[in-house]
Every structure is written in structure tokens, then in C-alpha cells.
Amino acid sequence: MEDPIVVTGWGMVTPLGCGVESAWKSLLGGEKVLRSLEGKEWSAFGSPRAGQVLDLPSSEKLARRDRSLRFAVAAAEEAWAMADLARVGPGRIATTFSSSKGGLLSLLSTGFDPSVTWDFLTDFFPHAGGQLLKQWFGFKGPSLSVSSACSTGIGSLVEGIRLLRDGECDVVLAGSTEASIHPLLYAGFRNMGLFSEKEGGPSPFDLERDGFIMGEGAAVLILETHSKAKQRGAKSLAIVSSAVLGGDAHEALEMEPEGRTIVPVIRRSLERAGLSPHDIGYVNAHGTGTRLNDQVESAALAEVFGMNGTYVSSTKGATGHLLGAAGSVEAVLAGLALIKGELPDTRNLQDPDPDCPIRHVEKGGMKKKVDHVMSLSYGFGGQLGAVIFSKA
């Protein structure tokens, strides 16, 4: 029998708060994260807003590093402490950690200057977060970077599991980070018509939904085999029953409109986990709040789970769209729903769209013990991912 992969620690930085418990409390408490973007660089946008991280712990050593890297270290330190990794040999610890856009803020703030030094490149590449974590904690195992737009976090989990299965390491720090709230990227999304203009913010699956807002953050999950975790006395938070990737070649910025590329990913994740649709008690959907995404995703979920099947919600209405960090943050939120027996609702969902025929979590969230949960992520360019967590 295959040795299960388990999660022994996790950490988060989100607009809802820094730290797993802080973010979870804010999520269930309905805290608002829409914040005005201030400064002369935002003056051309009228009333710009985003989901920003405000209470990030400061570190003198990281003061000049890219914002996305500071997020990465804060999330990793929480996960590291939870998993008590100080007792694991550094040569057996690996990282699969990335960003979809790398140190974008550092790059754009540099501007064009012929005399620029090369050191800004240390923060620019998508793999910079994983490299910094290796230096910060001093581990020496393999380091991989999977940059796949908004599914980057699940791609990192898939690669981390592969390293463990191949015996390349005993522990993996897997996850993703994103800090790209900049006028250039903001203008691009706005001009594509993707931003929500609703006063209360994004409302995934709602009849009047009109888009998302940008967010930022990071999450790290500590992965290891159950036998190794047990051997060193580490507590298993959840079992990673499966993590799979898929692709959609319909268009670079649009998914296949019937959900036919999402369905096989969901079914393959169930098959690999040895589960049937009715075993999944909760799905954290990608749920961006755009007209097309929510309708396509709902069609796929309804085909697999039925219209009155598993409970579904999107946490992007609460956090904003964390882009490259979305997959890892939402995976942790799904895992928390599993172990706490509480399902978060879809923020701002007032009038469910009949064209999104899924079973929504009750308004205000609900207490419900479940044995298995799923988190889904999709990215521009057709990257698809699904992860299933089960009770340890």
C-alpha cells in the first residue's frame, strides 16, 4: 500500500490577515478587505481598490527584498514552526515554491536605467521565492519552480508530491506567492473588463456578478510521507489524497465554454484518490466572479457532483483574486474547512445565478463535518489543477 502524503504544517499571508488562524477567523467573520489604492500613481483610475496585506510582520533582513518574497518568508516561518522542521536534516528538505509573476514590483520600480546593477534580478524570477526560502532556512534539497498563472499553487503541490514519491527528499515546502498590485497590471485587467465595480466587491456565482478584484498573499504547505512524519512525531493535519493537473487549449484567456476540460481533471483527481463524487463534502471553487468562469465551472461541477451534490463556495469574494498565490491559499482554506468542520460561504452571494447550478454553502457559512474536500484552480493559458484533502 502506498505511503500517504500528509500535510504537517501550513502558513498564510492574505488580505484577511497574516497567519492561518487570523485569516480563517476573518473569513468566517465576514471581514471586508476592499481597500482604496492611494498615491499619485493611482490617480488615473478614479477609485481603484484591491485586497491588500496590511499587517505583514517586518524584518530588517528583508526590508529591501520584493514584497512577494517577504510574503513567502512569513508564510513559510509559520508552516515551519507548526511542522517543527528544525529537527529534520537540511539535505532532505526540498522546495517547490513559485510565483506567477516573480518580483514584478521590484522590476517595475527599477525602471530603465543603463547603470542598473544586476542585483534586482535576484528577486525578479519566479523561482526567487523558493531560492530565498532555501537560504533563509538553510536546507539543501531540490528546488523546483512551477509558474502556471493562477494554478501555480496546485502545480507546486503536484511537483512536491513527485519529489517525495521519487525519494528525492523527506520534506517539501510547497506553495506560491504573489504581490503584483501595480498600475500597469491593474490597467491591463481593468481594460479587459475583468474588475468588479460593485460597492460590496466581487460576488462569485451571483446573477449580478461583474468580475473580481486583485489581491496579494502567499501560502506554504509542509508535505511529507505519513511514515516519516510519524517517525519524527509530527502531527498530520490532513492527507493529500490526490493532486492533479490538466490543460485547456480553447483560448489563451477563455476556457472551453461547456466545462469539458474541467470535468476530466475533477474525475481524475477522484479516481486517483479512490473516491466517488458523493465522498467530497466541500469544494473550494476557482470562482473568480466573472460571467464566463463561474458559468463554465458550475457546469463542470454539476456534471460531476449533480446540482444538489457537494457544497461549493468561492473564497475570492473575501480575499480578492490572489493570482499566483490563489491555488495555495485556497488549498489551505479548503484544508481548514476539513479539520475545523466549518464551510465558508461565497462572500456577497445574494441571488444565485440559475446558470450556475451548484449547491451553495449557506449564507454566513455553516458547521458541517466532512471527510474529504477539494480545491480547484485555473489559470490564463489553460492551466487547470485540483487537489483533494482527506481527514488524517
User: Which pLDDT score, from 0 to 100, does residue 255 have?
Assistant: 73
Spell out the SS3 assignment of 329-361. Answer: HHHHHHHHHHHHCEECCCCCCCCECCCCCCEEC
286 is catalytic: yes
Instruction: List the domains of the chain with CATH numbers.
Output: 5-205+209-231 (3.40.47.10), 241-391 (3.40.47.10)
User: Which pLDDT score, from 0 to 100, does residue 75 have?
Assistant: 98
pTM for the model stands at 0.96
Nearest of 310, 322, 311 to residue 379 by alpha carbon: 322
DSSP for 141-169?
S-EE----GGGHHHHHHHHHHHHHHTTS-
Determine which one of 18, 182, 286, 372 is catalytic. Answer: 286
360 is catalytic: no
Distance CA 51, CA 78 (A): 21
Instruction: Please name the helix (run of DSSP H) or strand (run of DSSP E) that holds residue 133, with its range, or none.
Output: helix 128-137
Determine which one of 150, 169, 182, 356 is catalytic. Answer: 150
Which amino acid is located at 316 in the chain?
Answer: K
Q: Phi/psi at 264 (nearest 5 deg)? A: -65, -35
Determine which one of 169, 321, 356, 372 is catalytic. Answer: 321
| Per-residue pLDDT tens over the stretch 129-172 | 999 999 999 999 999 999 888 899 999 999 999 999 999 999 99
User: Which pLDDT score, from 0 to 100, does residue 346 have?
Assistant: 98
Distance CA 27, CA 15 (A): 10
User: Which pLDDT score, from 0 to 100, does residue 282 have?
Assistant: 98
Q: How does DSSP classify residue 100? A: S
Tell me which residue has cell 534580478: 121
User: Which pLDDT score, from 0 to 100, does residue 118 have?
Assistant: 67
Torsion of CA 154, 158, 163, 167, to 10 degrees: 130
250 close to 380: Cβ distance less than 8 angstroms: no
- Show Cβ contacts of residue 237 under 8 Å, excluding neighbours closer than 6 positions: 6, 7, 8, 9, 10, 335, 339, 392
Which segments in the chain show pLDDT lower than 50? none
Cell of 343: 464551510
C-alpha neighbours within 13 Å on the C-beta side of residue 40? 0
Distance CA 293, CA 198 (A): 18
356 is catalytic: no
- Show Cβ contacts of residue 48 under 8 Å, excluding neighbours closer than 6 positions: 36, 37, 42, 186
Instruction: Please name the helix (run of DSSP H) or strand (run of DSSP E) that holds residue 243, with its range, or none.
Output: strand 238-247
Distance CA 171, CA 228 (A): 9
Q: Measure the N-to-C terminal CA separation of the chain; round to a whole number of Å.
A: 16
Query: Residue 17: beta bridge partners?
Result: 14
